[in-house]
Structure 1
Amino acid sequence: MTHTPPDQHSTPTPAELREQIEHTRHELGETVQALADKTDIKARAQRKAGQLKEQAAVKAGELKAQAAKANSQVQDKIPDPVKEKAAQAAGQARAAAAQVGRMWEEKAPEPLRQQAARSVQLAREHRTVLLLAAAGITFLWLAGRPRKD
């Protein structure tokens, strides 16, 4: 595009005018689009929500990796006899839980059973944390017991 210097008083040609008009239309279109983007709150909120969701997924992945690493480190530090006793205790706990469950189904009122079912579901969803806590408690309990020699 050729611009006429301000000190010359020449009239632009029709081609130059068309070029200026097209340039102005283009700039105006970009300005209108930018204003429309700024006023479209729903689209901005959706973009922001998408960004936050992506960040949360990344953070969750990082935390999951850290938890797996911590679990591995704890498992590596627990002596084999402790692991065996923990496995044995877990088996006994499962058997006792099954027996209590049967008794529970026979005698507990329905609203209480529903609340218990919700609690069990939460425990299942957070199983890893509960198992790590149980392993840590078992380890501390066994480590703190006086040894019989």
Structure 2
Amino acid sequence: MTQPPHDEPTAAGPGELREQVEQTRAELGETVQALAAKTDVRARARQKGAEVREQAAVKGGQLKEQAAVRAGELRAKAADVAHQTQERLPDPVRDRAAQGARLAQDNRKVLLTVAGAAVVVWMACHRMKG
């Protein structure tokens, strides 16, 4: 039989020895479970994936809020610049610009469709070059 470590007391009797053996078995079982959890790559990858998805969702929400605020600021600034520019234009030019703006508003769907098609064509051409 082997000698116990010097820092651990020896058992006084068979009952105490059994208790020490059971405690050692329990500790060993916990250690084995901890090691098994560390080596379960699939479970760890799923856990890490869930953490990353949660972080991405939080960051996405923050970015969406920031984009909405920035878009509002830019709309206000664009409206201000447009107003200032209109004030500086001569009357005939201002009338033609207003007419063009009304025409664009009346044909918004057509303009958006054409712009979307132009983007798709540009992306297709860009991918062909790359």
Measured against the shorter chain, the TM-score band is 0.5 to 0.7
Q: For 1:11-50, what per-residue CA distance to the aligned partner results, in whole angstroms no more than 9, with x for missing partners?
A: 5223311221121011111111111112111101111111
Partner of 1:91: 106
Choose between structure 1 and 2 for higher RCO, CA contacts under 8 A separated by at least 6 residues.
Answer: 1
Q: Give the Cα separation in 2 of the matches to 1:30 and 1:62.
A: 41
- Residue 53 to residue 97, structure 1, CA distance change in 2 (3 Å): closer
Q: Give the Cα separation in 2 of the matches to 1:10 and 1:96.
A: 89
Please list every run of 5 or more consecutive structure 2 residues that lacks an aligned counterpart in the other structure: 1-5, 84-97, 121-130
TM-score (norm 2): 0.56
| 2:58 maps to 1:58 | yes
Q: Give the Cα separation in 2 of the matches to 1:29 and 1:87.
A: 76
SS at match of 1:79: helix
SS at match of 2:12: coil
Partner of 1:67: 67
RMSD: 3.3
Paired residues, what number?
93
Which amino acid is the alignment partner of residue 91 of structure 1? Answer: D
Which amino acid is the alignment partner of residue 21 of structure 1? Answer: V
TM-score (norm 1): 0.50
Runs of 4+ in structure 1 deviating by more than 3 angstroms, as ranges, are 80-83, 85-88, 95-98
Q: Give the Cα separation in 2 of the matches to 1:23 and 1:77.
A: 72
| 2:33 maps to 1:33 | yes
Please list every run of 5 or more consecutive structure 1 residues that lacks an aligned counterpart in the other structure: 1-5, 101-115, 120-149
SS at match of 2:74: helix
Q: Give the Cα separation in 2 of the matches to 1:10 and 1:26.
A: 19
The CA deviation at 1:10 is: 7.2
Which amino acid is the alignment partner of residue 34 of structure 1? Answer: A
Partner of 2:90: none
Q: Give the Cα separation in 1 of the matches to 2:10 and 2:21.
A: 18
